[in-house]
Amino acid sequence: MARLVQLYEQLTPQHLDSLHLCYAAQAHFKDPFNDVHGIDSIRQVFAHMFATLEAPRFAVTEQLVQGRQAFLAWEFHFRLRRWRAGQPQCIRGGSLLRFDAQGLVQEHRDYWDTAEELYEKLPVLGVLMRGLRRAGAAPQAQA
């Protein structure tokens, strides 16, 4: 697990060829935007991240391991190249990981709230998403 956390926290475009040290050849990766199989496809997801975002980095904040599965809570820090260029952004989420018999990641599923962490921050869509969130929220308890 320590090697995997280190890979995430120190990930750079130059380290993408090291993914095979932690991922099985036919690993499955799914997040709110991608659903891919195979280490080459996973490498492409991360390469796209580096190509489209400025200074992306992960900080693992919690680790839970049970047998051949784990959950990592993380913060993803980055800056957008176009909209709000240069302004720091942070997405909080988690990854459910399942390992094969050799200890390599066989299944990687990322969970994060795209509405709260991304869409609500966009100019036009954000107004709509925040309104939907307020409309669906339970009324505050009266004291």
For the beta sheet containing 23-30, the strands, ordered from the edge strand earlier in sequence to the opposite edge, are 35-37, 23-30, 105-111, 88-99, 69-80, 53-66
**Strand pairing report for 105-111 and 23-30:** parallel
Joined together, the tokens standing for residue 16 give 């993408």
Mean pLDDT, residues 128-137: 61
How does pLDDT run across 106-119, given as a tens digit for each residue?
999 999 876 555 65
- Taking only the tens place, the pLDDT of each residue in 75-129 is 999 998 776 667 898 999 999 999 999 999 999 999 987 655 565 556 555 555 5
φ/ψ of 88, rounded to 5, equals -60, 140
Residue 111: beta bridge partners? 94
pLDDT of residue 119: 53
Q: Evaluate whether 87 touches 95 at the Cβ level (below 8 Å).
A: no
| Residue 123 pLDDT | 56
Which domains are present in the chain?
A: 2-79+92-111 (3.10.450.50)
Query: What's the pTM value of the predicted model, to 2 decimals?
Result: 0.80
